[in-house]
Structure 1
Amino acid sequence: MKRTIGLFILFAVLLSIIPQPAYAQEKAWFKTIKVDIGNETRDVKVVWIDMKDPMYRAEVALANGQAGQVDSFINIAEQLSDNETEVVAAINGTFFNANSDLQPTGTIRLQGRTAFFSNLGTCIGFTGNNEIEFAHLYTSVSGSINGNWEYPYNW
């Protein structure tokens, strides 16, 4: 049986604040709704996924596997698909500098490691039990020379 990935990054908040219709047995479904933004109306595809179902999990994917790269949205999402895994949702998770170095403006954690850090904004994360958490991840680097933590041998 295929394991299914719900690829979430940032806009999961939207999923939690929009009223959810009661679908009988489905654990994942989508619906297109109309949203008023200023003086215009847009169609938005909303995805609901029961993250308590162990068949679903959230994953992070980067263009070409690293920050600062570019690829189509579908190609980024499909990196996670294989014979055992089906991608059911993909959400763009952070802004990036489109004019120069393409670096993200937020911290990105990928499989337990920091793929990019910037100390800006709030990060979305999922626990081992698929519970959602939001946090400001302040990252710092410290070290010493030969175990001497006194100035000038530390940073």
Structure 2
Amino acid sequence: MNEVIINVRDPHIEVQPAIANHELGTTATLAQIAQQNHAIAAINGTFFDAGGDNFPAGALEINGQFVYNEKGTLLGIGAQGQLTMLRATEELSLNVYDPTNPISNMWPWFLNTLSTNPMRVSVLTPFYGPRTRDSSSVVAEVENNKIVAIHDGITPIPSNGYDIEIGAGEAKTPIMQRVHVGDRAVWGDTVVSLDTGKTVPFSAYPNAIGAGPMLLNNGRIDIEPAKEGLDNYEVVDAVTLRSVVGFNSSGQLVFLTIHDANVYQEAQIAKALGLTYAMNLDGGSSTGLWYEGRYLTVPQRALATAIVVEER
């Protein structure tokens, strides 16, 4: 077992999720991700499609903007080191304001998600990559919250904006009649508690990462993997390498790797170490912990994401 404790209230410390090579769908070693972000400590991040498209399977928020949406347990990190943890999902919104039409809602499906579904509407930010990937789609290019161009097929994603990708089937519906160059376009995410179904104010937490299941909730073991969509053997019951992130009653953030445990044993260990909130991260071959230039736990594969600790 290896543990790193971080004083997140230190004004010279910043903690946030990191994406390998700053681009979804790519991987790097944990040490490389740490070095890319000038980190003094790092632990592997959320689940991802290892050996497939390498896209994440957990929520990510970086510098106040969600990068990926997925239900699970969400760790929120505030600018002054405040921490929160809850079971949550995110609801994506996108509005295009056509002055000739009272309807603005675009009913988006995906945020930075690979898809060729012809009826989708997706929001693609620079973390998705330099360009869109579906040659059959229609794309509205947005800069500074204004549509600046509309293209057919593969389109660059502006560094100071995003693309609205509309599947070939959806592009044949009346939705395209209210998308024009010059229209204002705004997207956002709302965090919703899986326990209460209510919207959770989250603006105080500009950085967040989701995984799960939750292990500890206010000091008690509280494991409900089915609620988080994580009720499979590999995540819950397999006795394997485990990674944990959590915090104690003093507000210190804790990174923890465990040699062999299922999530129930993992929760007991986290509680014994004095954590009050804790969640399971991606484990098994992904389990890795890096501190001050060296590995404490060496991952057995390259990773898509990590949680990094940086000195300001």
Pair in the same fold by TM > 0.5: yes
* 1:1-155 equivalences in 2 (<5 Å): 44-81=1-38, 87-117=39-69, 119-135=70-86, 136-144=88-96, 146-147=98-99, 148-150=101-103, 155=107
- Between the aligned residues of both structures, percent identity stands at 28
Work out which of the two has the higher radius of gyration on C-alpha atoms and give 1 or 2.
2
Give the CA deviation at 1:58: 0.5
Matched letter for residue 79 of structure 1: Q
**Gapped regions of structure 1 (runs ≥ 5):** 1-43, 82-86
Q: How many residues align?
A: 105
Query: Relative to 1, partners in 2 of residues 1:154 and 1:93: Cα closer, same or farther, differing over 3 Å?
Result: closer
1-structure distance, mates of 2:10, 2:80? 10
2-structure distance, mates of 1:114, 1:154? 18
The TM-score normalised by the length of structure 2 is: 0.31
2-structure distance, mates of 1:68, 1:154? 26
Contact 1:107 1:123 in 2 (8 A): yes
Contact 2:26 2:54 in 1 (8 A): yes
CA deviation vs aligned residue, 1:67-124 (integer Å, no higher than 9, x gap)? 211111100011111xxxxx2210112010113211111111112222222x321221
Matched letter for residue 78 of structure 2: T
2-structure distance, mates of 1:145, 1:50? 44
Query: Relative to 1, partners in 2 of residues 1:132 and 1:154: Cα closer, same or farther, differing over 3 Å?
Result: closer
Query: Relative to 1, partners in 2 of residues 1:144 and 1:59: Cα closer, same or farther, differing over 3 Å?
Result: closer
Matched letter for residue 60 of structure 2: I
1-structure distance, mates of 2:55, 2:32? 19
Query: Relative to 1, partners in 2 of residues 1:69 and 1:47: Cα closer, same or farther, differing over 3 Å?
Result: same
The TM-score normalised by the length of structure 1 is: 0.59
The two structures, once aligned, show a CA RMSD in angstroms of 2.2
Greater RCO (Cα-Cα under 8 Å, separation 6 or more): 2
Structure 1 residue ranges, 4+ long, deviating more than 6 angstroms after superposition: none
